[in-house]
Amino acid sequence: MGITHEAELLAQVPTGLLINGRWGPAASGKVFGVEDPATGRTLLSVADAGPEDAMAALDAAVAAQNSWSRVAPRERGEILRRAFELVTARIEDFALLITLEMGKPLAEARGEVAYGAEFLRWFSEEAVRTSGRYSLSPDGKSRLLVTKKPVGPCLLITPWNFPLAMATRKIAPAVAAGCTMVLKSANLTPLTSQLFAAVMQEAGLPAGVLNVIPTSTAGPTTGPLIKDPRLRKLSFTGSTPVGRNLLAAAAGNVLRTSMELGGNAPFIVFEDADLDAAVDGALVAKLRNMGEACTAANRFIVHKSIAGEFAGKFAAKMNTMITARGTHPESTVGPLIDARSRDKVHELVTDAVASGASVVTGGAPVEGPGYFYRPTILTGVREGTRILSEEIFGPVAPIITFTKEAEAVRLANSTEYGLLAIVFTTDFNRGLRMGEQLETGMIGLNAGIISNAAAPFGGVKQSGLGREGGLEGIEEYLYTQYTAIADPHTD
C-alpha cells in the first residue's frame, strides 16, 4: 500500500458539498485543506460550506422528509444492508482514508471500519422493528393506539476521532427510522464522511435524505439551522463544552437532542484481579486511538498492594509499542490529531510532574514531523491534579492508589463525567456491586473495550443524553404518537 494507492484513493473522494443528491461547490467558492497529522502534509481540499449552503441542505432534507418517511421499512433496511456490504468490501480504502486524515494505525482503522459498518447492519435489521401497541383503556370504554413516527429532519454533528463510526452510529438509525439529515463532519477529518456519503448514494439512498456539509466555520454555519423550526433533532458527538452550548441553542427551538459528550473513564484494578488480563485491558483502554477516545481510560485507580507490579508490567507492554505514521506496517501508536492536542497532553503531564508525579515511561513529545507523543505512565499522581479531572485525549496513563472498595468508588465518581468505568476483579459479586455504585452509562467488567453496535452507548452526568446503538439507538430518531379511539357503542 504505497503512495500510488494513497493518491488513487484520494482521487476517489468527493470534494464538494452533497446537497439534494448532487455534489457541488460551496456558494462562496471557498475550500479548506485537510492535513495528514503524521506528516503535516495537505491531503486534499474540500468545499467549505457557509450558512447559505447549510440552509440549502436543510431545504433538501425538509423537501425529502415526507416521501422518505413513506418508504417501506424493509426498503430502508435494505439500503443500509447494501451500504454495509459496500463498506465491508472497501474496508482497505476506508481504513487507509481514516489513517491518512486521522492518524490511527491501519490495523485500528480496519477495526473502526468493521465497527462502523456494524451500525449499518444492526440498523438494517432494526428498521423493520419499530412496532407500537394497541390496548383497551383501563375502564374498557376506549382503545389506545400507540405508534412510532420519524422525528423529522436531523442535524448530525460528528467529531474527528472516529471519522466513520461516529457518522454511521447516527446515520444508520436515522435512515432506519425514516428521517432525513444534514451531516456536519469534523473539519479535521471530513474525507471519510465524504466517501461514505458516496457509498450511501451507491446503496440507493434517495436524493435529499443525506446532505453533507463540511465546513471550517462550524458555529456560524450550523447556527441558523438550529434556530430553524423545520429542524426537529440535533444529534451531537463531541466535547462537553461545545455540547453545553449546543444544548442551550437547541432550547430555543425545543429540539430533540442526543448528546454524546466527553468522558473521564476510571480504570479500577482490585487486588484480586487477574493482573496480566488487567494489563492487557489497560493497554487497549489507554492506547487504542492513541488515547483519543471518549471511552479511553483516563485515570488508573489501582489497589495499593499491586500498584507497583501493575505499573511495571504496564510499562513493559507500553515500551513494546511502536510510535510511527499509521500507514507504517509496524505502527501501533499514531500521531495525535494536531499540534494543539499534543501540546495540551504535554501541558497536563508537565503539570502533574510539577505537582509531584513520577514518570515511569514516556513523558515527552516525539520530534516532528507529525504530532506524536510517547506513550506515558505516571505514578504518585496527587488527587486534585488537572490530569485527573480533564480529558487527556492522549497516550498518558496516570496511576493513583486505593486501599478500600469504598475509596475506589469515591475516586471513580469524583468527576463531572459519567460515560464509562472499567473494573478488573475476579470477584463476581464485587464486580456487580461496583456496577451498582458507579455513576456511568457503561461498565467494562474485566473488559478494556466495550463498544458494540448491539449495545446502548452513552453517558450520564456531563457525558451526555441519549443512547446510540442497541435497541435504544433507533428510538432517538422516533417519536411516540398516541391515538385515543372512542367507541360510541360502549356503555
Q: Please report, as ranges, the residues that interact with ligand NAP according to CB under 6 A.
A: 157-161, 166, 184, 186-188, 218-219, 222, 237-239, 242, 245-246, 260-263, 294, 391, 419, 459, 464
In sequence order, the 6+-apart residues with CB closer than 8 A to the CB of 19 are 53, 56, 57, 60, 211, 213
**Whose Cβ is closer to ligand NAP: residue 181's or residue 311's?**
181
Query: Do strands 376-379 and 210-212 pair parallel, antiparallel, or not at all (unpaired)?
Result: unpaired
Instruction: Provide, rounded to whole angstroms, the least separation between the CB of residue 456 and ligand NAP.
Output: 11
Instruction: Provide, rounded to whole angstroms, the least separation between the CB of residue 106 and ligand NAP.
Output: 20
Burial degree of 321 (CB within 10 A; 0-12, 13-18, 19+):
middle
The residue assigned the cell 450558512 is 51
Instruction: Provide, rounded to whole angstroms, the least separation between the CB of residue 190 and ligand NAP.
Output: 8
**Whose Cβ is closer to ligand NAP: residue 10's or residue 336's?**
336
Instruction: Provide, rounded to whole angstroms, the least separation between the CB of residue 179 and ligand NAP.
Output: 19
Instruction: Provide, rounded to whole angstroms, the least separation between the CB of residue 259 and ligand NAP.
Output: 8
Give the amino acid at 124: S
**Whose Cβ is closer to ligand NAP: residue 258's or residue 379's?**
258
**Whose Cβ is closer to ligand NAP: residue 57's or residue 360's?**
57
Q: Is 294 a catalytic residue?
A: yes
**Cα–Cα distance for residue pair 423/434, rounded to 1 Å:** 8
Catalytic residue among 292, 294, 391, 475: 294
**Whose Cβ is closer to ligand NAP: residue 101's or residue 260's?**
260
Instruction: Provide, rounded to whole angstroms, the least separation between the CB of residue 196 and ligand NAP.
Output: 15
**Whose Cβ is closer to ligand NAP: residue 73's or residue 456's?**
456
Q: Is 260 a catalytic residue?
A: yes
Q: Which residue is nearest to ligand NAP (CB)?
A: 238
**Cα–Cα distance for residue pair 231/156, rounded to 1 Å:** 11
Catalytic residue among 108, 112, 260, 391: 260
**Cα–Cα distance for residue pair 215/231, rounded to 1 Å:** 19
* Catalytic sites, residue numbers: 260, 294
